[in-house]
Structure 1
Amino acid sequence: MYGSHYSPAQVSNISKQMIPKVEAYHKRKLSDKFFCVYLDATYVPLRRETFEREAVYIAIGIKPNGHKEVIDYCIAPNENIEVWTELLQSMKSHGLEQVELFLSDGVVGMKQALVEAYPKAHFQRCLVHVMRNICAKVRVDDREAVMNDFKQIHQQTNKADAVKILHDFYAKWGKLYSHVVRNLKAIEADMLVFYNYPKQIRPSIYSTNMIESFNNIVKRKAKPKAEFPTEQSLDIFIGIQALSYNDRYFNRIHKGFGQVQDTLESYFD
């Protein structure tokens, strides 16, 4: 799983040594501000009374200076807004006071939970998740055309043009897929928020793709293990991936952010 071969005793000893490090990671003091925070859950096999795939809730952030890190994570049997609320409150209690922009999929209640924890923050709905939802609700023969039209929305030079493209999408597909268009209109205010920020960082803030790359690392490295025997073993495994990720990207500036650092700093008190 970790790229090397160890005996069961060695694995046990390594795991024991990592317990305090992972505990310290969860308890560490966080930076007081992140420009954007990505929220997403991925599922990993865990054995309790029965074998199940359980949700790992993950928060990754990018600071105004462009440095990114896995802020925290937690484990629960399934994804629900109550656990997300607890994670948000935990982040706040560990020192994260200000977030300019949150990015997430369409978990019911997420926007309200964000308002309660960080009332000044803005919210961007992940457009990749929106596209997946649309794709699942249109006929196979229409998918390519529908997707090509919708992709134009995040490829415009300004918000006004994006709004026009979106409304043209409504007019073109509304009769054939009224339920799709109705759902899009309900979340329109959350789909184009990324246009309010500098163009250099827009490719990074219209979706949660960045956090999904971390999720893919987790799944790939967990694949050799059919299941985790305890929640603690899964916690240690995810903790190792988070610590490794944070070490790897320590002081690296995420693409586009270095060009607009002063602008991003200006969004905070």
Structure 2
Amino acid sequence: MRAGPARGPPRRHKGLIAIAEGLRESTESWGDLLHDCRRRGMRDPEPVVGDGAMGLWKALAEVFPAARHQRCWVHKARNVTNALPKSTQPGATKAMQEIHNAEDRAHAEQAIEAFAKTDGTKWPKAVAKITEDWEELLAFYDFPAEHWIHLRATNPIEFTFSTVKLRTKVTRGAGSPTVALAMVFKLVESAQDRWRAITGAHLVALVRSGARFENGVLVERAEAAAV
């Protein structure tokens, strides 16, 4: 994260911290990138949000084992609907929205149970994509409610890569991997200025200090827990 403009109250923004050439999101490629982040002084992130690419999660467990895992709801919803007939997709989409938009973890878990009860018998593979990953899908409830909108999905990255893909198609290739990586870096570097500022930025320091949240509400500060 980087500091906001000098005038007015300070704000915190999402920001680019690393970019590297990789091989099909492999564990080795992710491991190299994460090790580089650690060498440059990065501590274990609190939550890490990502899709179902196993390479990331395996490398994360090795390099930043204390990091919490949060699965992206946009990717998960897409995976679920792709496993269903078109006629049932609107209902499944609504059910998943009721899960990740629930006011607290208890209601989210109840919505998961309702989804499994309604569609589990007829569409077990689709429902299993939710029930088997429910802990990582609901990890955001252990962070400030103001941050939930940022933690439920990897949208900033996805939107940025859409722009990158469009630009690379127009240029019809960059000539070499080095030039391609440089072009992608400049595109992402430019895009980060348009990323949404973090809601409740003042709570980031509390999260990093070890404060405990339940259903988005602060219940214990780190110093109080140490007494």
TM-score of the superposition, structure 1-length normalised? 0.69
Larger RCO: 1 or 2 (CA < 8 Å, sep 6+): 1
CA distance in 2, matches of 1:236, 1:106: 27
Aligned residue number for residue 216 of structure 1: 162
CA distance in 2, matches of 1:128, 1:243: 24
Q: Quickly say closer, same or farther: Cα 1:239–1:183, change in 2 above 3 A.
A: closer
Deviates further, 71-80 or 204-213: 71-80
Post-superposition offset of 1:154: 1.0
Which of residues 117, 141, 148 in structure 2 aligns to 1:171? 117
Following superposition of structure 1 onto structure 2, how do residues 247-258 of structure 1 map, counting pairs within 5 Å?
A: 248=193, 254-258=197-201
Post-superposition offset of 1:235: 1.5
Aligned residue number for residue 75 of structure 1: 21
Aligned residue number for residue 94 of structure 2: 148
CA distance in 1, matches of 2:149, 2:136: 16
SS in 1 for 2:170: coil
SS in 2 for 1:103: strand
SS in 2 for 1:157: coil
Gaps of 5+ in 1: 1-30, 34-64
Following superposition of structure 1 onto structure 2, how do residues 189-208 of structure 1 map, counting pairs within 5 Å?
A: 189-208=135-154
Aligned residue number for residue 162 of structure 1: 108
CA distance in 2, matches of 1:195, 1:179: 26
Q: Is the 8 A contact 1:174 1:181 kept in 2?
A: yes
Higher strand share: 1
Which of residues 66, 74, 77 in structure 1 aligns to 2:12? 66
Q: Is the 8 A contact 2:116 2:127 kept in 1?
A: yes
Aligned residue number for residue 206 of structure 2: 263
Q: Residue 201 of structure 2 aligns to which amino acid in structure 1?
A: G
Following superposition of structure 1 onto structure 2, how do residues 106-117 of structure 1 map, counting pairs within 5 Å?
A: 106-117=52-63
Aligned residue number for residue 84 of structure 1: 30
CA distance in 1, matches of 2:189, 2:157: 15
Which of residues 188, 196, 200 in structure 2 aligns to 1:242? 188
CA distance in 1, matches of 2:149, 2:188: 24
Higher helix share: 2
CA distance in 2, matches of 1:265, 1:187: 25
Q: Is the 8 A contact 2:72 2:154 kept in 1?
A: yes
SS in 2 for 1:124: strand
The answer to whether structure 1 residue 119 and structure 2 residue 65 are counterparts is: yes
CA distance in 2, matches of 1:204, 1:97: 20
Stretches of 4+ aligned residues off by more than 6 angstroms: none
Q: Residue 67 of structure 2 aligns to which amino acid in structure 1?
A: A
Cα RMSD of the aligned pairs, angstroms, is 2.3
Gaps of 5+ in 2: 3-10, 212-221, 223-227
